[in-house]
Amino acid sequence: MNQVIISAATEANPLVPNVWEMGVVLVGFAVLMFIVVKFIVPMFEKTFAERAEAIEGGIAKAEKAQAEASAALEEYKQQLTDARAEANRIREEARAEGAQILADLKEKAAAESARITAQAHVQIESERQAAVVSLRSEVGTLATTLAGRIVGEALNDDERSARVVDRFLADLENQNAGAAK
């Protein structure tokens, strides 16, 4: 048993690390650390910087887009206000034009009415004159026939009958004029 204890004492203690192993691990760690610091960390930093720049650029773009959107909104509101004012102006012009057209149509209608009335008066006057002429000839014929019957002689002489008719009509007109007063 002593030998087992002695052989165990000469063997390496598992709690104490081997120097060569520690050296190899330290060299491997140093190489790995060199590679990480030299190549990998710069790539990470480059990617981080690009992302930070992209985010800052995105924020700047977003702020710029927000400013442009605000400006566009103000321009839209101004255009809308201008369009409403223009629509109101056009509506008022249309109302005024409609009133003017209505006044013109009323004036034309009044003028047309006056023309038709004047034409009717002229036509009535001409028809009255035609009726007077027609009545004179009929009254003249009747008066000559009546006068011939009363006098007892025929009044066939045209000149004499015309004088009699004219005198009879003049007497009638004088009687009508006296009665009208």
Q: Which pLDDT does position 156 carry in this prediction?
A: 61
Flag whether pLDDT at 175 surpasses 90. no
> How far apart are the C-alpha atoms of 31 and 37, rounded to whole Å?
10
Nearest Cα residue to 154 out of 163, 164, 144: 144
Over residues 71-78, mean pLDDT: 93
More confident residue, 78 or 15: 78
Can you tell me which residue has the tokens 């590679």? Answer: 35
Report residue 18: phi and psi, to 5°. Answer: -80, 135
Is the pLDDT at 3 greater than 70, yes or no?
Answer: no
Predicted confidence (pLDDT) per residue in 40-59, tens digit: 999 999 999 999 999 998 89
Q: pLDDT per residue over 103-127, tens digit each?
A: 999 999 999 999 999 999 999 989 8
| Phi and psi, residue 161, nearest 5° | -65, -35
Which string of b and e fits 147-157 if b means at least 16 CB within 10 Å?
Answer: beeeeeeebee
pLDDT surpasses 60 at 13: yes
What pLDDT sits at residue 135? 78
Q: Determine if residue 152 is left, alpha or beta; phi over 0 gives left, psi from -120 to 50 gives alpha, anything else beta.
A: left
pTM, whole model, 2 decimals? 0.38
Give me 96's structure tokens. 């005024």
